[in-house]
Structure 1
Amino acid sequence: MSATAALDAYRRHAKRRRDAPDHALPSSKQPVMTTATAHSSASASASSSGAGASSSSIYAPPRSFHFFVRATDSKTIAIHAAWDDTVAAVLAHLADCGYGRDLRLLYAGRQLAPEDTIASLALPPDSTLHLAARLRSTPHPKAWQLASHIASTATAATAEAVSTAAYYLDELVNQYIACADPESVETRRDRRALGDTHSTENHTAEYLDIFLQSGAAIALVRLYLSNSSFLRSYAERAIRCFLTTEPAPLPPTVMPETVPVLFEFCRLLSLTAGNKDSLYKSCRHTLGSMLGSPLSHRASSKSPNKVIEQVLPFAREIAETVLYGLASESMMVPKTDLEELSNFFKVLRLQVRLWMPDGPMAKNLYSRECKRGWVWELHELSMNLLKRADECLKRLEMDLSSLSSDSRGVIETQPLWSNRLHILAILTELDFISAIYEDVAHNLRFVLLAHKAPLNALVRCSKRNENLHWLVKHKDLLCFEARRNLVLMLFSEGKDDYGELHEMLIDRSHLLDESFEYITQARPSELHSGLFMEFKNEEATGPGVLREWFCMVCQALFSPQQVLFLPCPNDQRRFYLNGTSAVDPLHLKYFIFSGRVIGLALMHKVQVGIVLDRTLFLHLAGRSITLEDIAAADPFTYASCKRILEMGAADIDDLTLTFSRDVHTLGSRRTIELCPGGQDIPVNISNREHYIDLLIKNIFVDSISDQLASFAKGFSDILVNPKLQKVFFGCLDLEDFDRMLGGSNNNINLKDWRSHTQYNGYKEKDRCINWFWKAVESMSIEQQRRLLFFWTSVKYLPSDGFGGLGSKLYIYKQLESADHLPSSHTCFYRLCLPPYPSFRVMQSQLQKITQEHVSCSFGTW
């Protein structure tokens, strides 16, 4: 069957889709043409005329005319009438079919007179008339006229005599779209002409429905199926007006309303041109984008079952394409196919949620015998995708196992591996579906558990993707590097252009005050671009100076002199919020500043050597604090509570405790009730656990709620989306956060240091180099840190040592005399070392630069 004949068959059998009956009009001058005769006649004409034949040769036998009537119940009726039949005869026939007596027929926005004959109307072949009751005119005559003009222009064009008007079909469609836009110049001009300058009504959906009812979409597709390349190009340009963004995108008011038009184009093109056709693929891709867009609300206005049944064929089609790609040798899937799969699946998920809002369905609800076929079909489609993803992960695991242990960490940065991230995207879609089907969630977990190695490799080399938050549920399967990459993706990637960075010029003598002004006065969006740091009266700039600034600011912020934070008694590197910080009137602003600085340090991947107490970490993560969590921050309260839990009833009664606590602030004492009437409620053996819970909550949450809220706000300001703060901390354990923020507090491994150092001008076995490492080995731990800080602006190494710096360290030979001290380029991890004449001189010069006041601010860019 030719493409045109297929389209004709689609029209003839429209009743399968619309429940539309096919009618032949009785006439005294022409025998009644039965339904079977009408179809046979049209088919024969189509067969003899070929794909490029005109519509008149298909549908207009010498003595009859074929047209459609759109009834008041939205059904489409096919009518065969003689040329000399009147409009009144057609209406009478429709009345006999049960559509009532008080009817009107409309065409192109005007009411047809009952005495007019079919011939006198000069209707284009295959026209669509509209049946209306008690209606004398349409509210949108211009839309009907323009849509009918588009349909008739497309229908009249033939391969033998190319219509000049067909060349302007795209302009006509763009004009129609402009008329549908309530904000367009044309619409405003029409309102002024009618004297309606204040109307805000949006008739876009009605206009686009008129475009479909007029048969314009069908006429354009028929023209696209022509054998003439010129006609095809004219039709394609016109159809693409609903798809293209050039020279201008569709108006925002029109874009979401195009979904029904896109559905119609997709159905027609799929039936006739086939799903390999490029125009069909473009229409399907745009349809998926529109359905997946938050602007689109057309789908949600229908019943969920109807939308699912409409969308599922397209989801099935693109899923089959994705399955084919995953099964290939390369396992590659084009990005556009992934986008389509995501968009169509998103619509299906949303509609299923409307249909079934109460959580995953148990397996016994989606068998083959399910009354709603789509329930079973969507489930099978999801399971096929999961099975194919499992096969791909097995292949990736074999690739990883074939590598040596030294090269496994490198493979994840190679383009070939990065190009397999679409497998993670498939798993993400399946996680969304797992909220619908109980066994999909179970099987997905099993697949991830069976392939932890490739899963971690995929996550470690992933780029920014907000859809990966679902992996928080499976963080126990992820290594530290994978979890770290997940949370780093919640920060902005920053900018490489210095002109877009937030610039700071800081006086070292006013480090904290000026840094506070620069950071707190900036809008969060300005900080997302990254920081450019420079100290006054110093030439050095770049990442090395920025690392130095972070370390110095954090050292000042967490100093006890600032009364913002207190160190844990047994771990001076770990800090919690100071409940008496209110002595500083600016303390809440400084907590916002502190939260921003911590977030920025993480964003810039700088280890500042301090870590947060578990109670503060748990609060930021939105988790409750238990007795065991306070052991480091308040060992006295911890020990007291433990003793209460171990006491007998009589011993507890002897304590005479109540549900209250005394607080001493600046020499004054006050009593705080842990619950209403707490002073009058004694603590006993039956309520002691509740008392301890309230006591911990009051000390570590309620009494410092303002400080906690300010610190949390400052931190969330640095995230791309402040609402993702709980996701950020949900991905991590406290130990993970310690490694990211504090770095390693262990002794520096000299062997690791040497293995990550390269030389320029020197050789590894040169005498000066041996003296250098011998001098470093003789230093104290603190001196080694100061040397490293002077060299790189890194005082605390990443948890994985020098390998985590992302670059080798370098020692350059500096042709200076022995009385010159070494210098450094901290941005490039470069130490410039003069060729000292003896070990004693080498050791002496290195000792000088490891003094605390020298190791800072001595590097150059």
Structure 2
Amino acid sequence: MSSSLSSKRKLDDYAGGGDSLILPTNVIRSRKDDTPLRSPTRLKLYLIITNVFWDNTLDFHAISSDTIKSIHEEIQDITGIPVTEQRILYNEKQLHWEQTLDECQVENFAELSLVGRMRSAKHPKACELINEAVSIVFVMCKKLPPFIVPVSVKVMLAEFLSMMPRINLEASEQLKLFGASSAPAALVMLYMSPLRTNRSAADEAITHFITSIMSILPVRLRHESVPIIFEFCNLLKEAAGIDDPLYCFCRSSLGAMTECTMIGRKAELAVPVIFSFVEELAAKISHALILSVGSRRFFGPSLVDISDFSSFVLPLRKAIKGYDPIDVPSTENLRGVPHVYTDEVINFYRIFLDLLSKLEWCLGKLEDRINSDLKRNKDTLHIGFCHYLEFMKELNSISKIYNGCEGLFWEAMTKRKGAFCKLVIKCAKRSDDNSWIFVCKDVTNFEARRHLAMLMLPEVKDDDDDEEQHEMLIDRSHLLAESFEYMKNAKIESLRAGLYMEFKNEEAAGPGVLREWFFLVCQAIFNPQNALFISCSNDRRRFYPNPASKVDPLHLEYFRFSGKVIALALMHKIQVGIVFDRLFFMQLAGRRITLEDIRDADPLLYNSCKQILEMDPEAIDQDALGLSFVHEVEELGTRKTVDLCIDGKSIAVNSENRRQYVDSLIQHRFVNSVADQIDHFAKGFADIMSCRRFRIAFFKCLEPEDLDFMLHGNESAISVDDWKAHTMYDGFKETDDQISWFWKIVGEMTAEQKKILLFFWTSIKYLPIEGFSGLATRLSIYKTSDSCGRLPSSHTCFYQLCFPAYPTSDVMRDRLSIITQEHIGCSFGAV
């Protein structure tokens, strides 16, 4: 190596220990020279040395195959700076002894920076350790096995991290030291080694390093690790490709960091950088969507890719979305979009359209597969498609950035409603945020909405012996009062864990008795004689809170109890035979009550209000009605007048304020008068839910008719054919005379007798909306060895009906007629 020194002065002061060498802060760029060197292997280099004693440039020639160590030795000969006190940086990265200039990609006329390791520099031990680790990596890359490594790279990195300050910002300086040491490049070089041991060591070291810094650093400092993880991503992407497992791990780690990272022009990650990952992942997902349909097993995009896509989309959405959706004129005129990130906005829009079209196409293919499976009595859905639901959620969030795109998204999902609902039913989990699906109910059916609602309730445990279950021993003659006391004093955790129910002086216990209790207690709660609820005039099955319930000092506590009971009945999937009136449901869902909502609750008031709104304006302005903003109410047997607004008596109803009058009347009659009752019912309902904030969401995700089906069940007449198709036999054969007689007799029963028999058999009087197929298990008929004089019995827990082999159909008819009497069939205490 040849050299020429611009100044002959050596750094004598340095030898005395002065803190003299400073790390340049600007990015170093190669100089241009008009006269190229004759030999392509010879390099002319410039070494910049800056301190208070020395401010000059050392220029010298070198051969591209020269090692960095030889450069250090030459600098020592020229300047007197010991080799052990030198660091050479190129493009802000340290060059290590074991490397050659060619390996470091040092170009001709490059500027190198000489940096001294000062005695007063921060983190000297960490600096020494990371340089030693990098040196070991170079040795591992250059030597052929077998060779001995004094200590594993992973262990050295762990020791380096153990020196990192975890409270103050000095952690940032140590992380910068790691990056400047060329450690990321060295580790990636080791990872790309043809030796399996080297690759494994690098994989282990990089994974451990990134995992550790994410756990070591407090949340407020985690963004300091972003430049390093980003460098690992870039190096691995170039060297190993985007499908490499270690690259995917680093990319996922970077995505996880975006939530605590500033995104923007002068931040750790710029929007174009974030967008590059979004583009990369969108291309992978788009390709996977096409491939998934071509596969028999319907493999979709990987969950890792979808999760990473979501991680990078979130900060991108925040960066480019303002307060209002962006107008996109047309795909042909995208350049007209005014935005600070115009390119990203345009390309993100194109990505959305591409992914949406691919998704819709895939759902169409999935729908064909589902229909084909149904024809063959199969009900299969490959697990790979469960990732689609998370992907749909992300596409829905992107659609909100652009005007009109959310409508496009839901239009596409509506076209593929069958596949969409299937995915919701099979793939939506309790741990997911499913609220985005509630926005458009047109894309879901009853089964999908019911599934989403049930996910917000605790899951019923199968273990009947669970010590956490709430135990109740109820006297039938004091059913409502004793049930209230048991619930009032119960711990919410025990109610969520399950209920163990017995009636006093009865041996029966188990799920069958619990189903009977739910039915009976709900009949009592909604019995108008108990003054808690009123039945609607047009439909006596429908109920809403009674404004006069305050006659009972405990009425609000009873409403909270009622909320708990209904939530528990839904949780246990028990149909109790009652339904809520629309105005009750609407208020639980947080919606405003309108005139149409009171049609069933009070037909007379509904018709009167309709007439007021439809009257000729001139007639009403002539005070033909003689109405003012007041309302007469009956309370505890006396009538009183209540103002609907301030000084309502003096405000006449006219053509201009009549709608306001009707709205005020409805709000007072059906909202304000029962606000406390509904509030306490809602609190009781929320007590049982997995999370209290789900209370309104539960009702918002349902239609009023959905809750009818869930609480009341199937309103159609019981189908004997369906009943028979879902019944098994134990001891009997389907061809036995007794079985033929049994179904013939059941087919001749009245609708009420069938309900009583079903209740006797199962403790179920109202079937699920699906009929017998919706029950947890099939029913069974068991042949006993009892004498033919015995009546049938049942094990309601197991849906089992038991009777002996009756000799004739008349004997069987007689025995069945006895148990289908209301007072027997509905109060039998079966086990």
Structures share fold, TM-score greater than 0.5: yes
Residue 455 (structure 2) aligned to one of 480, 489, 495: 489
Q: Show the counterpart of 1:103.
A: none
- For 1:220-299, what aligned pairs fall within 5 Å after superposition? 220-244=187-211, 253=219, 258-291=225-258, 296-299=259-262
Aligned: 1:420 with 2:385: yes
Residue 805 (structure 2) aligned to one of 832, 835, 839: 835
Write the distance in 2 (CA, Å) between the matches of 1:436 and 1:305.
Answer: 24
Aligned: 1:119 with 2:83: yes
Aligned: 1:582 with 2:550: yes
Task: Say which is worse superposed, 170-179 or 613-622, in terms of deviation.
Answer: 170-179
Write the distance in 2 (CA, Å) between the matches of 1:600 and 1:665.
Answer: 33
Q: Letter of the aligned partner of 1:28 in structure 2? A: S
- Cα 1:361–1:523 shift into 2, 3 Å: farther
Task: Say which is worse superposed, 668-677 or 158-167, in terms of deviation.
Answer: 158-167
2:49 touches 2:58 (CA, 8 Å); kept in 1?
no
- Cα 1:676–1:235 shift into 2, 3 Å: same
- Three-state SS of the structure 2 residue aligned to 1:272 is helix
Q: Show the counterpart of 1:810.
A: 780
- Cα 1:210–1:602 shift into 2, 3 Å: farther
Q: Show the counterpart of 1:72.
A: 25
Q: How far 1:642 moved relative to its partner? A: 2.9
Residue 480 (structure 2) aligned to one of 507, 512, 531: 512
Residue 352 (structure 1) aligned to one of 317, 339, 346: 317
2:5 touches 2:58 (CA, 8 Å); kept in 1?
no
- Cα 1:826–1:350 shift into 2, 3 Å: farther
Aligned: 1:694 with 2:656: no
- Three-state SS of the structure 2 residue aligned to 1:359 is coil
Task: Say which is worse superposed, 274-283 or 83-92, in terms of deviation.
Answer: 83-92
Task: Say which is worse superposed, 783-792 or 484-493, in terms of deviation.
Answer: 484-493
Q: Show the counterpart of 2:702.
A: 732
- For 1:356-435, what aligned pairs fall within 5 Å after superposition? 356-364=321-329, 369=335, 372-402=342-372, 407=376, 410-411=377-378, 413-416=379-382, 419-435=384-400
2:271 touches 2:319 (CA, 8 Å); kept in 1?
no
Q: Show the counterpart of 1:673.
A: 643
- Cα 1:677–1:538 shift into 2, 3 Å: same
- Cα 1:700–1:278 shift into 2, 3 Å: same
Aligned: 1:92 with 2:62: no
Aligned: 1:606 with 2:574: yes
Write the distance in 2 (CA, Å) between the matches of 1:669 and 1:772.
Answer: 58
Write the distance in 2 (CA, Å) between the matches of 1:237 and 1:594.
Answer: 57
- Cα 1:766–1:799 shift into 2, 3 Å: same
- Three-state SS of the structure 1 residue aligned to 2:632 is strand
Write the distance in 1 (CA, Å) between the matches of 2:709 and 2:114.
Answer: 73
Aligned: 1:437 with 2:402: yes
2:556 touches 2:680 (CA, 8 Å); kept in 1?
yes
- Cα 1:82–1:454 shift into 2, 3 Å: closer
Q: Letter of the aligned partner of 1:545 in structure 2? A: V
Residue 544 (structure 1) aligned to one of 512, 523, 539: 512
Q: Letter of the aligned partner of 1:167 in structure 2? A: V
Show structure 1 runs of 5+ residues with no match: 1-23, 31-67, 97-111, 183-199
Aligned: 1:626 with 2:594: yes
Q: Letter of the aligned partner of 1:348 in structure 2? A: V
Counting matched residue pairs gives 756
- Three-state SS of the structure 1 residue aligned to 2:729 is strand
Residue 573 (structure 1) aligned to one of 530, 535, 541: 541
Q: Show the counterpart of 2:420.
A: 455
Q: Show the counterpart of 1:314.
A: 277
Write the distance in 2 (CA, Å) between the matches of 1:826 and 1:453.
Answer: 36
Write the distance in 2 (CA, Å) between the matches of 1:95 and 1:580.
Answer: 97
1:501 touches 1:531 (CA, 8 Å); kept in 2?
no
Q: Show the counterpart of 1:107.
A: none
2:425 touches 2:447 (CA, 8 Å); kept in 1?
yes
Task: Provide the aligned C-alpha RMSD in A.
Answer: 4.0
Q: Show the counterpart of 2:559.
A: 591
CA displacement, residues 474-508 of structure 1 (integer Å, 9 cap, x when unaligned) = 32233322322232233333433443763323223
Write the distance in 1 (CA, Å) between the matches of 2:298 and 2:217.
Answer: 32
Write the distance in 2 (CA, Å) between the matches of 1:389 and 1:138.
Answer: 56
2:474 touches 2:483 (CA, 8 Å); kept in 1?
no
- For 1:518-557, what aligned pairs fall within 5 Å after superposition? 518-522=486-490, 524=492, 526-535=494-503, 538-557=506-525
- For 1:166-185, what aligned pairs fall within 5 Å after superposition? 167-180=151-164, 182=166
Write the distance in 2 (CA, Å) between the matches of 1:228 and 1:610.
Answer: 72
Q: How far 1:796 moved relative to its partner? A: 0.6
Q: How far 1:87 moved relative to its partner? A: 5.3
CA displacement, residues 574-604 of structure 1 (integer Å, 9 cap, x when unaligned) = 1100112223233222222212222222222
Aligned: 1:323 with 2:291: no
Write the distance in 2 (CA, Å) between the matches of 1:675 and 1:221.
Answer: 75
2:299 touches 2:385 (CA, 8 Å); kept in 1?
no
Write the distance in 2 (CA, Å) between the matches of 1:521 and 1:347.
Answer: 49
CA displacement, residues 374-403 of structure 1 (integer Å, 9 cap, x when unaligned) = 223322222222222122122223334546
- Cα 1:511–1:158 shift into 2, 3 Å: same
Write the distance in 2 (CA, Å) between the matches of 1:25 and 1:334.
Answer: 63
- Cα 1:449–1:793 shift into 2, 3 Å: same
Task: Say which is worse superposed, 80-89 or 479-488, in terms of deviation.
Answer: 80-89
Write the distance in 2 (CA, Å) between the matches of 1:305 and 1:383.
Answer: 30
Q: Show the counterpart of 2:435.
A: 469
Q: How far 1:692 moved relative to its partner? A: 0.7
Q: Show the counterpart of 1:3.
A: none
1:159 touches 1:231 (CA, 8 Å); kept in 2?
no
- Cα 1:395–1:336 shift into 2, 3 Å: closer
CA displacement, residues 63-101 of structure 1 (integer Å, 9 cap, x when unaligned) = xxxxx996435x3567999899865499735899xxxxx
TM-score (norm 1): 0.78
Q: How far 1:280 moved relative to its partner? A: 1.7
- Cα 1:401–1:208 shift into 2, 3 Å: same
Write the distance in 1 (CA, Å) between the matches of 2:481 and 2:555.
Answer: 13
- Three-state SS of the structure 1 residue aligned to 2:693 is helix
Q: Show the counterpart of 1:41.
A: none
CA displacement, residues 596-620 of structure 1 (integer Å, 9 cap, x when unaligned) = 2222222222111000011111111
- Three-state SS of the structure 2 residue aligned to 1:575 is strand
- Three-state SS of the structure 1 residue aligned to 2:534 is strand
Write the distance in 2 (CA, Å) between the matches of 1:669 and 1:142.
Answer: 89
Q: How far 1:332 moved relative to its partner? A: 6.1
Write the distance in 2 (CA, Å) between the matches of 1:722 and 1:94.
Answer: 70
CA displacement, residues 149-193 of structure 1 (integer Å, 9 cap, x when unaligned) = 5445545555428886663332232234344463xxxxxxxxxxx
- Cα 1:403–1:227 shift into 2, 3 Å: closer
- Cα 1:401–1:230 shift into 2, 3 Å: closer
2:222 touches 2:260 (CA, 8 Å); kept in 1?
no
- Cα 1:815–1:796 shift into 2, 3 Å: same
Q: Percent identity?
A: 39
Write the distance in 2 (CA, Å) between the matches of 1:330 and 1:630.
Answer: 53
Task: Say which is worse superposed, 341-350 or 733-742, in terms of deviation.
Answer: 341-350
Q: Letter of the aligned partner of 1:72 in structure 2? A: T
Q: Show the counterpart of 2:527.
A: 559
Q: How far 1:421 moved relative to its partner? A: 3.0
Q: Letter of the aligned partner of 1:121 in structure 2? A: E
Write the distance in 2 (CA, Å) between the matches of 1:85 and 1:275.
Answer: 38
Q: Show the counterpart of 2:769.
A: 799
Q: How far 1:205 moved relative to its partner? A: 4.6
Show structure 2 runs of 5+ residues with no match: 9-20, 32-42, 60-75, 96-111
- Cα 1:768–1:230 shift into 2, 3 Å: closer
Q: Show the counterpart of 2:738.
A: 768
Aligned: 1:615 with 2:583: yes
Q: Letter of the aligned partner of 2:763 in structure 1? A: S
